[in-house]
Copies of this chain bind each other. A is one copy, B any other.
Amino acid sequence: MLTQSLNTQVHGSKIAPAAHHVSDQFGAITGHVGLVATEFSYRKDEEIYGEDEPAEYVYQVVSGAVRSYKLLSDGRRQIGAFHLPSDVFGLESGATHRLAAEAIIDTTVRLVKRSSLEKAAGTDVQVARKLWAMTAGELRHAEDHMLLLGRKTAMERVATFLLEMDRRLAVAGMMALPMCRRDIGDYLGLTLETVSRALSQLHSQGILGFSGARQIVLRNRQRLHNLDA
């Protein structure tokens, strides 16, 4: 039943990926009981929801990675955020999604109906507080990112990006970026060529090391911080 509704309402996909109930709560929202969470998978580049679509579900990345973005009419794209495992995304206070969301690579998400969260928030003050705090966390990120987009140089933007990704997904000092250079450019307000040149320069200065274009090791976080204004 829920599975069916997901297949039709979440993205109206022709394919029908395996979806099944999980008894687990929507951990990141709170340990609140009584929420039914479902898992769902998307393939690389598949749309999860579109801009201005009704916001029926709230999502949490289980594995993979997601980009949230807005488009101008001529195709220029601004990625507002990348969502990595454990991140919640798609949470709205209003009726619709403000940004579209796509899987960057094959991705599994856990999701709950927005209406069930709203219901829980109506009876449990802690849930209401948590929903507000999550939106406030997104706002903080957006405010930091406005400073980057409005005022930082290309090298400062790339340095900021590397430190953010290092913090969020480095394992054993190494990070495996899920996204391509174009995605990074569209996140930082740059072209993919400018991103590539900045990374090459950091490499030649010994500040980072590559093991393939998307496997990066930061060799000198301090110097990267200095480059970041």
Interface set of A (CB-CB < 8 Å, partner B): 70, 72-74, 76-78, 80, 92-94, 98-99, 121-122, 125, 128-129, 131-133, 135-140, 142-147, 149-152, 186, 188-189, 229
Contacts and interface: CB of A to CB of B under 8 A. Distances in A.
Given A78-B146, A93-B135, A138-B139, 17 more contacts: A70-B144, A72-B151, A72-B229, A78-B147, A80-B146, A93-B137, A94-B133, A98-B143, A99-B143, A121-B125, A125-B125, A128-B129, A135-B139, A142-B142, A149-B189, A150-B188, A150-B189
Contacts of A151: 72, 76-78, 189
B92 A143 contact: no
Nearest to A156: B72
Copies in the complex: 2
Contacts of A139: 98, 135, 138-139, 142
Contacts of A93: 132-133, 135-137
Contacts of A76: 151-152, 229
B143 A70 contact: yes
Contacts of A138: 139
A136 B90 CA distance: 12
A144 B71 CA distance: 10
Contacts of A152: 72, 76
A145 B146 contact: yes
A77 B76 CA distance: 25
Contact of A149 (B72, B94, B146, B229): B146
A144 B69 CA distance: 10
Contacts of A99: 143
A128 to B, nearest CB: 4
Contacts of A77: 151
B146 A92 contact: no
Contacts of A147: 70, 72, 78, 80
Contacts of A144: 70
Nearest to A122: B125
Nearest to A92: B136
Interface centre among A93, A131, A145, A229, by most chain B C-beta atoms within 10 angstroms, is: A93
